[in-house]
Amino acid sequence: MVSERTVGGTVIRLRKGDITCYEGEAIVNAANSALWMGSGVAGAIKRLGGESIEREALGKGPIEPGEAVVTAAGALKTRYVVHAAAMGPDLVTSEALIRAATQNSLYKCDELKIQSVAFPALGTGVGGFPVDKCAHAMIDEVFLYLQEETDTSLKEVVFFLFGEETYRSFGKALEERATA
């Protein structure tokens, strides 16, 4: 199974584990459009990074589902948290929202000249979206973005994936997209 590919000058990597351990420049939070941080990835980020992350996020919201905003990362090892609203206040998501949240997160990274970012599997926890469909949508959006944005600052896009099933789904999606 493929766990790494290069698109243009950017490496796309898959990693098993906890996204809050990432030591790159930014991590993506699987957010809701109100930007409050409850459970799942958001809860872990708030627990380890501190309440200041949520306070700053709430000050920038609410946002439309599919949009993204950036805050400082508090006590995390990264500089930034990109809050990608993969679901609305009803905590329901869709492939279109996951695609938009992924793309808008990448745009935010380029706006800040971020070189390394880690994504979770957006919408698959609280949002309940099927992991295999999420994997294909997110991998596809990253490939499309990197192929279109030839002057991107991004050198590394990592997917931090929790659990074997999620890791396998993203590996399969990455392999299929890389050979398409």
CATH of the domain at 152: 3.40.220.10
pTM: 0.96
Running DSSP on this structure, what letter comes out for residue 173?
H
Output the average pLDDT for the chain.
95
Strand order in the sheet with 68-72: 4-7, 10-16, 156-161, 116-119, 26-32, 80-87, 68-72
Provide the β-strand partners of residue 13: 4, 158
State which residues form the domain around 22: 4-178
**Which tokens in the block code for residue 113?**
């000249």
- Span 1-19, average pLDDT: 91
Q: What are 100-121's pLDDT values in tens digits?
A: 999 999 999 999 999 999 999 9
Amino acid at 142: V
H-helix segments, the chain: 40-49, 51-59, 95-111, 131-148, 164-178
**Total number of domains in the chain:** 1
- The SS3 call for residue 19 is helix
Q: What are 42-71's pLDDT values in tens digits?
A: 999 999 999 999 999 999 999 999 999 999
